[in-house]
Amino acid sequence: MNKFAIGTLFLGVAVLSACGNGGNSDSDVAGGEQELANELYFFNWGHNIDEQILADFEEEFGVEVIYDTYASNEEMLTQINSGAISYDIIIPTDYFIDRMIQMDLLAELNMENIPNFENIAEEFQDLEFDPENRYSVPYLYGSTGLAYNTEVFEEPPTSWEVLWDPEYAGKVTAHDTSRDFVSLALQRLGKSINDLDDASLEEAQGILGDLNANVLKYTTQPAAELISGQSVASLAYSDQAGIAMAENDAIAYVLPEEDGGMLWMDNFAIPSNANSQYTAEVFINFMLDAEVSKMLTDYIPSSNPNAAARELMSEEELSNQASYPDIPESSEYYVDPTQDETRAINRIWNEVRAQ
């Protein structure tokens, strides 16, 4: 769920035709062994990988990586459903893995081709959205917490309550996404972010009007406001907090101890209509190599679930609170909402914003 500006990178032949990717596929050779495809079609969040990593894979394996980007899980799903291009690797966020499994859109992985899966830290294996990792492998993870100015707050805030505090009216930002906005209120009320029954949502809406009155700006990219000092407290994705912290020493990041915070994980997955599953699994295994995985998070200020890669990191890197914050027990991953729940969340978002 990378939150940088979205761009499109093409490596090698990068014109993706609406007629798909034709005859490129894995094939069997004598003795039943598989050989690599000539091309690998990779669909990822924008600016979510170091281009050099793709070049290194191409050089080592002789496979041309054709790389395209998307701005949201919904955009990715629409493209996969269209079938216009048969992508070999995609990077869905946690709850979207569950959705795509239910829609029969993901291939079951052959872990014999991904021995480097053993490098993934145990706490990031076998998560609720994909028990036994039958369909996905962790790529990057992060959190949604509170970025704040230490010149204003001498101690780390322990609750989302500071965003409601009239003292900071016009000096806070919140996300312009309906689910994060409503989840903020649910956690402040001591509820789960997945408590989406009518009573819980009504109670959440009841306190969101006061938050709306405090908000300087709704944005998922508050780094600029934090760096400039316009915002003293922001609901922020951890990578946005990391950007702000790198530019302004007064900015810090925390998952509020009392309320928790939201967790997210982006994952490797292979669409069920992929032409080159074996090549995709070889690529995933390459990405899970300790040095390659560290190279990924050297480039992107997200958190790395690869324990072998973390062993290569310095104490300074591992102590970065944006990348590796203390995680309260009340922090949660999202569960995929029903259509009715999604409509209710969007209705609250629109009604509160219109006040």
Q: What is the mean pLDDT of residues 18-35?
A: 61
Domain count of the chain?
2
Residue span of the structural domain in which 228 resides: 142-263+325-353
> For residue 271, with 0-12 CB atoms within 10 Å meaning exposed, 13-18 middle and 19 or more buried, which class applies?
buried
> Please, which pLDDT band fits residue 3 given cuts at 50, 70 and 90?
very low
Q: Is it the case that residue 14 has pLDDT exceeding 60?
A: no
pTM reported for the whole predicted model: 0.81
Length of the chain as a residue count: 355
CATH of the domain at 152: 3.40.190.10
Q: Are residues 214 and 112 located together in one domain of the fold?
A: no
- Is 10 a domain residue? no
- Is 1 a domain residue? no
| Rounded CA separation 138/268 (Å) | 6
Per-residue pLDDT at 228: 98
Per-residue pLDDT at 8: 37
pLDDT in tens, 146-184: 999 999 999 999 999 999 999 999 999 999 889 999 999
- Percent of the chain exceeding pLDDT 90 equals 84
Q: Are residues 249 and 289 located together in one domain of the fold?
A: no
- Is 245 a domain residue? yes
> Please, which pLDDT band fits residue 13 given cuts at 50, 70 and 90?
very low
Per-residue pLDDT at 355: 85
Q: What is the mean pLDDT of residues 208-226?
A: 95
CA distances from 292 to 174, 239, 302, 343 (A): 34, 20, 15, 41
Instruction: Compute φ and ψ for 212, nearest 5 degrees.
Output: -55, -40
| Rounded CA separation 95/8 (Å) | 24
Q: Are residues 107 and 182 located together in one domain of the fold?
A: no
**Closest C-alpha among 137, 93, 139 to residue 115:** 137
Q: For all residues of the chain together, what is the average pLDDT?
A: 91
Q: Are residues 254 and 284 located together in one domain of the fold?
A: no
Per-residue pLDDT at 340: 96
> Please, which pLDDT band fits residue 36 given cuts at 50, 70 and 90?
very high
Per-residue pLDDT at 6: 35
Q: Are residues 196 and 234 located together in one domain of the fold?
A: yes
List the structure tokens of 245: 């912290």
> Please, which pLDDT band fits residue 21 given cuts at 50, 70 and 90?
low
Per-residue pLDDT at 145: 97
- Is 194 a domain residue? yes
Q: Are residues 155 and 53 located together in one domain of the fold?
A: no
Q: Are residues 235 and 188 located together in one domain of the fold?
A: yes
pLDDT in tens, 174-215: 998 899 999 999 999 999 999 999 999 999 999 999 999 999
Q: Are residues 230 and 303 located together in one domain of the fold?
A: no
**Closest C-alpha among 270, 251, 271, 253 to residue 324:** 253
- Is 11 a domain residue? no
Q: What is the mean pLDDT of residues 58-87?
A: 94
Q: What is the mean pLDDT of residues 311-326?
A: 93
> Please, which pLDDT band fits residue 12 given cuts at 50, 70 and 90?
very low
| Rounded CA separation 140/355 (Å) | 37
Q: Is it the case that residue 102 has pLDDT exceeding 80?
A: yes
Per-residue pLDDT at 42: 98
Q: Are residues 314 and 334 located together in one domain of the fold?
A: no
- Is 239 a domain residue? yes
Q: Are residues 190 and 246 located together in one domain of the fold?
A: yes
Per-residue pLDDT at 179: 92
Q: Are residues 345 and 237 located together in one domain of the fold?
A: yes
- Is 156 a domain residue? yes
Per-residue pLDDT at 31: 52
> Please, which pLDDT band fits residue 71 given cuts at 50, 70 and 90?
confident
> Please, which pLDDT band fits residue 17 given cuts at 50, 70 and 90?
very low
- Is 213 a domain residue? yes
Strands (E), 18-88: 27-28, 34-35, 39-45, 64-70
Q: Is it the case that residue 23 has pLDDT exceeding 70?
A: no
pLDDT in tens, 112-135: 999 999 999 999 999 999 999 999
Q: Are residues 33 and 121 located together in one domain of the fold?
A: yes
Per-residue pLDDT at 28: 62
Per-residue pLDDT at 32: 57
